[in-house]
A and B are shown apart, each in its own frame.
Chain A
Amino acid sequence: MSDSQWIWQCDHVIPSRPEASRRVQDEILEQMERHHWGEHDVFSVRLAMEEALINAIKHGNHYDPGKQVQIRCGISEGLLRIEIEDEGKGFDLAAVPDPTDPDNLESPCGRGIMLMQSFMSRVQFNEVGNRVVLEKDYTPPE
């Protein structure tokens, strides 16, 4: 991230516990509201962030107390960007089944990535699969 483009940014390293991510999430959402992001954008980022962090903590780091998650966020006038990186082995994005396929519709899991991709403007994983960049374009008020 280039520091000059952001009007607000943060950089945190947290342990692999969901409650540890809560404070960082609240901080980011509070800053969105402070910078007049709309309700739907705030909901979208909240949802995508929750899914990405649970993936990092639960599926990436397996709740290992010896592993951490890095969360970096930047907010500019028209863009929000979040980078989340875990210390896990990663995964193969292409191997994730489509949860909307009728064969998978009644599966109790596997929707997190789809929700991230649907509610954010852009989602990019690194090749290993242990780092994700979520970007949300600011939605002007109607």
Chain B
Amino acid sequence: MRPAFGRLARFRHELIGSGETTPMACSAGASCVAAIGAIEMSAYRRLEVNEVGDVTVVHFRDPKIIEDLRIQELGQELFQLVETEKRKKLVLNFSSVDFLSSAALGKLITLDKKVKANSGILKLCNIRPEIYEVFAITRLNRLFDIRRDEGDALAAF
């Protein structure tokens, strides 16, 4: 089983491998698995992380990416995906984002550097026109590979 979330994956392996609980054998197996799933889902406060094949697709929980603390947390979670979880193919889906500040752009730039340093590929998609205007004005549309939607982004790998 491919480790999904570092220490959480090791917890899952230990729990199942101990023989004391398995998804099928444990009387509360469904609860165990559900609990693990809930823990995994809440491991990222700012992101929703899913996999489509070997591509990691990220959605943002905050429609407005503005406050310094949130941007710091968001940055740390994105960096964790690349540096700790070693995700090589990453799509950031901005469909839930209706506003972001320049500080958020800074985190994306740093993420891009980390992805490249780890020989990975990063694509952005579903950016609404006003936010795309921000990327265009700052010329960051030349730095990032921006696709119209998630399907286009996934097909481009």
Binding site for B on A (CB under 8 A): 18-19, 39-40, 43, 46-47, 50-51, 54, 58, 99-100, 105-109, 111-112, 114-115, 118
* Additional A-B contacts beyond A47-B101, A99-B139, A115-B102 (13; CB < 8 A): A19-B67, A39-B130, A43-B130, A47-B134, A54-B68, A105-B140, A105-B143, A108-B107, A108-B109, A109-B103, A109-B106, A111-B138, A115-B134
B105 within 8 A of A: yes
CA distance A118 to B67 in the complex (A): 22
CA distance A118 to B112 in the complex (A): 25
Q: Which residues of B contact A19 (CB under 8 A)?
A: 67
B119 within 8 A of A: no
6 inter-chain pairs at a CB distance below 8 angstroms, sorted by A residue, are A43-B99, A50-B101, A105-B142, A106-B109, A108-B105, A108-B107
Nearest residue (CB) in A for B130 is: A43
Count chain B residues whose beta carbon lies closer than 8 angstroms to a beta carbon of A.
22
B66 within 8 A of A: yes
CB distance from B129 to the nearest CB of A (A): 9
Contacts A46-B99, A105-B139, A115-B138 known; A18 to B113 CB distance under 8 Å?
no
Binding site for A on B (CB under 8 A): 66-68, 99, 101-103, 105-107, 109-110, 112-113, 130, 134, 137-140, 142-143
Cβ-defined partner of A106 (8 Å) among B99, B102, B143: B143
Question: Is the pair A54, B101 in contact by a Cβ cutoff of 8 Å?
Answer: yes
